[in-house]
């Protein structure tokens, strides 16, 4: 018990644990900079800077903004998690050279004598060498709510913590050998949340990139053939190629995700990955761990059921709870209702509670000796109180028997601090034990749990309660919270291990599961996903890490283990379960609005593809320059899409994002391209300049895409009318103001040509309306 010497410490292995709060800063930069999108846009940007005018290169700023938003947001999340990890590093008390000292966790070494008291967290594995009523809470490892009594020779694991008594253990595994660290290592590989939206945009860019090669070559050849000016030819080719790429959609998606992250941050919710916002909107099954999620720490005194009306039941209960100077969770629950001992009830002898004995007691002199403990230990099976206690326990309540007994001196040999564990828990002499009351306690349910679960029920999200605790206790909590079929708890020990289909069927048909192991939690997630569900998993313990990693969306509690926070996409920093509805609501807002504005961006892509093919095949000059595209896109897509993407909405996310968007974008894009090309052809004459012809085409391009904006913005509330109306006013101002006309190379050629473009655009707008109505993509 003297601990290691300084010389031994110098040669021992240290507790060095790599901190993995998320990707490294270098990995964050690489992931956001070295993308296919940035490669294509960057190459075109360089071409314009070398051969064209700076006014035509403004599209490159989108690439820079998109990369910066992704880098800054993920770096902020990483920094927050690193700070949380440091805060969680409580000092460890060790004994060295016979003296106790507090050390940071990384200075603990193999073989150190680690001292434990109530509330101390175990950061390394070890073997107990001294126990004075030491009880360890292993719920973060096993999900079991009851603390475990530890005796010398017992093993203790990192990730657990002491809740009662005191003791000491020798560190046998430190650093990456410790249990909690090894478990975290399994889940250390960083992965992004699944995103149908992100994958859809990425696939668009991938396919368009392959189209860019042949179409770009054809377009470049046609521009060089029709222009003696190499710079003009390159500018025209780049205009067509850049317009094909929905670069604004990538930026708008990042902005909408980032704004969602900021909004959730104000509610103490940390989103580590931007695409996780989308995952929130698609979740249809939410797996909840009972301990730490539905229940808070500690217990509540539920009922006191007197069996003898002539005994001072409440006085004895209050005196017993206040007799222990280091009260456990049971005593604390009773103290909450009885904060002090009654007058005259002074304990002359006490026996503290231990898990091995399963009872505690005290002698109050003239009032007699009283004990409080497990009915199956204190009462015989033929006792009426025993049968009543069994009935109460079946409801999930924790039941204790309050008994008056004889002299406690005959049973104190098993008290903490004695010579060691006895062969069996000793009990008071049953002939002298009189049961006077039954006491029930219930785990403390979070005050916001009921309302939060009701929200998910209204939203069509199925809740599954998964816990390592006994099924009866889990069922009692679920029933009290109104979870459908909550009374039918399934004991996970009876579930099939080698039949995934049967397991998935059981999971679909039941909502509450007890005695679930960490490995089974992972199997549950996989089985639910095999049925087509989008699964979110909440957890706070080391035992939840692997399931959180495999879930479509992992949600960790801020007070949970560092390993869970490292692998989860969302961390509830204030541990408030009530934050989850806001999390889901924010995800749905972002996704529904991004889908809405995606139609605008992809309409641009398809009219650019059609225009590029037409100009290449017909051997014409491209009908507008990059700066024209920048102006029109800003007024019909960029600025309005920003406001539309951030508008409130309660739409639930639906699968099939890509097909729905294409049913709008393809017909609208083809019609817009036809209108632009026709206006460009009508404006062309022997006396007109290229800029005059392009100005007519730009007018047609603005009016047709502005009409698509009107259709997408419906229903036209007052602020949406103001939004689309102001875009038309700004375009008219660009045509009217000489400085702006010069900046964007606009040269109206005359009223006749411009009115022809307006007429063509009106016919095109009517055609687009009919086409999208037939496609059924927009609600009237």
Catalytic residues: 289
In angstroms, rounded to a whole number, what is the distance separating the alpha carbons of residues 133 and 351? 11
Largest CA distance in the chain: 120
In angstroms, rounded to a whole number, what is the distance separating the alpha carbons of residues 769 and 764? 9
Q: Provide the 8-state DSSP code for 651.
A: P
Write down the residue that tokens 């007070």 correspond to: 559
In angstroms, rounded to a whole number, what is the distance separating the alpha carbons of residues 482 and 449? 10
In angstroms, rounded to a whole number, what is the distance separating the alpha carbons of residues 505 and 396? 26
In angstroms, rounded to a whole number, what is the distance separating the alpha carbons of residues 115 and 732? 78
In angstroms, rounded to a whole number, what is the distance separating the alpha carbons of residues 666 and 631? 22
Helix (H), strand (E) at residue 491: strand 489-491
Assess contact for 549 and 187: CB atoms under 8 A. yes
Instruction: State how far Cα 67 lies from the chain centre.
Output: 22
The residues, ordered by sequence, that sit 6+ positions from 120 with a Cβ below 8 Å of its Cβ are 90, 92, 93, 161, 162
Assess contact for 453 and 463: CB atoms under 8 A. yes
The phi, psi pair for 102, rounded to 5°, reads -100, 135
Helices and strands, number each (H, E), in the chain: 28, 21
Query: Residues 663-701, buried b or exposed e (16+ Cβ, 10 A)?
Result: bbbbbbbbbbbbbbbbbbebbbeeebebbbbbbbbbbbb
Neighbours of 654 (CB within 10 A): 12
β-pairing, 434-445 with 489-491? unpaired
Residues, the chain: 780
- Show the DSSP H helices in 269-312 as ranges: 276-282
The residues, ordered by sequence, that sit 6+ positions from 78 with a Cβ below 8 Å of its Cβ are 21, 22, 23, 25, 28, 272
């Amino acid at each position: 018990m003297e601990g290691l010497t300084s010389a031994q410490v110098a040669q021992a292995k240290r507790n060095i644990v790599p901190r993995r709060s998320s990707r490294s800063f270098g990995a964050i930069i690489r992931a956001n900079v070295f993308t296919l999108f940035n490669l294509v846009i960057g190459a075109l940007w360089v071409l314009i800077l070398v051969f064209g005018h700076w006014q035509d290169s403004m599209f490159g700023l989108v690439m820079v903004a998109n990369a910066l938003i992704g880098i800054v947001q993920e770096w902020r999340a990483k920094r927050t998690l690193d700070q949380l990890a440091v805060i969680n590093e409580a000092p460890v008390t060790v004994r060295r050279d016979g003296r106790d000292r507090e050390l940071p966790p990384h200075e603990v070494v193999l073989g150190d004598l680690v001292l434990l008291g109530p509330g101390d967290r175990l950061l390394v594995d070890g073997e107990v060498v001294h126990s004075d009523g030491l009880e360890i809470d292993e719920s973060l490892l096993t999900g079991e709510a009851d603390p475990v009594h530890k005796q010398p020779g017992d093993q203790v694991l990192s990730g657990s913590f002491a809740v009662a008594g005191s003791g000491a253990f020798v560190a046998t595994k430190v650093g990456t050998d410790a249990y909690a660290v090894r478990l975290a290592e399994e889940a250390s590989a960083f992965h992004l949340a699944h995103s149908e939206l992100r994958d859809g945009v990425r696939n668009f860019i991938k396919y368009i990139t392959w189209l860019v090669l042949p179409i770009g070559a054809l377009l470049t050849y046609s521009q060089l053939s029709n222009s003696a000016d190499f710079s003009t030819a390159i500018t025209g080719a780049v205009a067509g190629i850049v317009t094909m790429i929905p670069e604004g959609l990538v930026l708008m998606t990042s902005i909408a995700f980032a704004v969602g992250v900021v909004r959730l941050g104000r509610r103490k919710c940390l989103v580590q990955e931007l695409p996780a916002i989308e995952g929130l909107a698609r979740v249809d099954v939410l797996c909840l761990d009972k301990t730490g999620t539905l229940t808070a720490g500690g217990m509540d005194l539920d009922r006191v059921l007197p069996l003898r009306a002539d005994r001072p039941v409440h006085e004895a209960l209050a005196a017993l709870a206040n007799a222990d100077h280091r009260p456990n969770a049971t005593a604390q629950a009773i103290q909450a209702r009885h904060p002090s001992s009654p007058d005259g009830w002074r304990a002359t002898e006490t026996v503290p509670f231990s898990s091995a004995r399963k009872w505690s007691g005290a002698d109050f002199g003239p009032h007699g000796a009283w004990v409080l403990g497990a009915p199956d230990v204190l009462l015989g099976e033929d006792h009426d109180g025993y049968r009543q206690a069994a009935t109460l326990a079946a409801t999930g309540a924790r039941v204790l028997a309050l008994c008056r007994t004889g002299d406690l001196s005959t049973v104190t040999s098993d008290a903490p601090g004695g010579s060691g564990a006895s062969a069996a828990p000793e009990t008071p002499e049953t002939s002298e034990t009189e049961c006077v009351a039954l006491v029930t306690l219930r785990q403390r349910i979070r005050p916001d749990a009921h309302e939060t679960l009701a929200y998910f029920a209204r939203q069509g999200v199925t809740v599954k309660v998964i816990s390592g605790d006994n099924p009866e206790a889990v069922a009692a909590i679920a029933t009290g919270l109104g979870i459908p079929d909550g009374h039918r708890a399934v004991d996970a020990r009876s579930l099939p291990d080698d039949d995934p289909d049967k397991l998935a069927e059981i999971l679909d048909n039941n909502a509450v599961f007890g005695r679930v192991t960490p490995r089974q939690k992972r199997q549950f997630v996989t089985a639910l996903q095999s049925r087509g569900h989008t699964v979110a998993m909440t957890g706070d313990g080391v035992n939840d890490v692997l399931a959180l990693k495999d879930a479509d969306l992992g949600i960790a509690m801020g007070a949970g283990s560092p390993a869970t926070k490292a692998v989860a996409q969302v961390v509830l920093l204030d541990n408030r379960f009530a934050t989850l509805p806001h999390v889901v609501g924010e995800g749905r807002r972002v996704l529904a609005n991004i889908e809405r504005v995606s139609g605008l961006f992809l309409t641009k892509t398809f009219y650019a593809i059609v225009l590029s093919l037409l100009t290449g095949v017909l051997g014409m000059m491209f009908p507008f320059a990059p700066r024209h595209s920048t102006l029109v896109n800003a007024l019909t897509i960029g600025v309005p899409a920003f406001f539309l993407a951030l508008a409130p909405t309660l739409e639930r996310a639906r699968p099939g994002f890509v097909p729905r968007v294409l049913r709008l974008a393809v017909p609208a894009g083809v019609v817009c391209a036809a209108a632009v090309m026709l206006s460009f052809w009508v404006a062309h004459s022997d006396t007109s300049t290229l800029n005059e012809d392009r100005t007519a085409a730009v007018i047609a391009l603005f009016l047709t895409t502005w009409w698509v904006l009107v259709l997408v913005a419906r229903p036209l509330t007052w602020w949406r009318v103001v939004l689309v109306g102001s875009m038309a006013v700004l375009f008219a101002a660009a045509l009217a103001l000489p400085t702006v006309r010069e900046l964007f190379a606009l040269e109206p050629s005359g009223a006749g040509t411009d009115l022809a473009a307006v007429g063509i655009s009106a016919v095109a707008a009517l055609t687009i309306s009919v086409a999208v109505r037939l496609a059924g993509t927009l609600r009237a």
